[in-house]
Structure 1
Amino acid sequence: MAATAAITMAHQMPPMSIPQMPRIRPPRMLKGTKSPNTDPQPPLGPSGEDRWWVQGKWRKHNANALKDRAQIQSRQAVKALRHGTHGLDIYAYRHVRTNQVVYSLTRTLQSTKVLNQLVFHGKKTVPSSVRTDMWTPHFSIHFPSTPAGALEGLFAFQKLRELSLQRQLSPPDDLIRVTEEDIAVIKSKIGNPVDHQEMAAREELTGKIPKIGEILPKKLHARRLMDHKATSVADAAFVLDWISSGPGPLERLVEVATNRAVRHSQKTRRARQRANTIRKEETSEQQKLEDRASWALEVHESDNRSRLPLMRAALEQLSMEHQGLVSCGRLVEAENIRELRDAVKEWEAFYDGDASKVDVEAWSRRQYTLRQAERRAIEEWFDLHDVPMSEHGSVWKNVAEARQAALNQFEEKEGKILQDSDKGKPDWAELREVKMYWADLNDGLFAASWPQNVVHSRLAPFNVARGQPRRPQGAAGAVLKQLKDAKKTDQAETEQTRQDTILSKSVHVIGGRLDDGWMPVEFASGVKQPAPLQPRQPDAEDLEDSYAYEQDQERGRGTAGEDIAAVREDVEHSNTGILARGWGRVRGFFGRRKRESTIYEDR
Structure 2
Amino acid sequence: MPRNLARLRFRAPKQLRPLNIARIHPEDHTTLHRRLRAHALDLSKPQTPLSLQVVVNPKWKQQPGKKPFRMSYKPHTVRDLVDPEAAAKHGQIIYVFANIKTGQVIYSLNELLDQYHLDQLPFLGKHSKPPTVRPDEWTPHCVITFPVAEQGLQAFRKLREFRHLHETSWDKTNPEWVRLTPHQRMRKIMDQVANTSADLAAVLSVQQQQSVEMRKKTIEHEKKSFRLMKTMWAEAEALAKDDRDASNPKWLEQQIRNLEWQLGTKRNRDEADTKRLQDAKKGHEVRLRRVLRARKNMARLKEVEETSEFKKMQEGYASQAAPATGVDVEAKLETLRKELALERDLTKVLDRSQEDAEQTMGAKQAEITQLEDAFIASLRAEARDHPVTRSILPTELKKQPPQPFTMDVEIKWADLRNAEYAAGNWPDPVVHDTLALRSSREDVQLLNPEQYNVTVSDDVQAMLKNLERQALEAQGLYEEPVAEPEPEKTGVWKYIPEVKNPFKRAEA
Bigger relative contact order, structure 1 or 2 (CA pairs below 8 A, ≥6 apart): 2
Which structure: greater helix fraction?
Answer: 2
For the superposition of Structure 1 and Structure 2, which TM-score range results when normalised by the shorter chain? 0.3 to 0.5
| TM-score after normalising by structure 2 | 0.37
Which structure: greater strand fraction?
Answer: 1
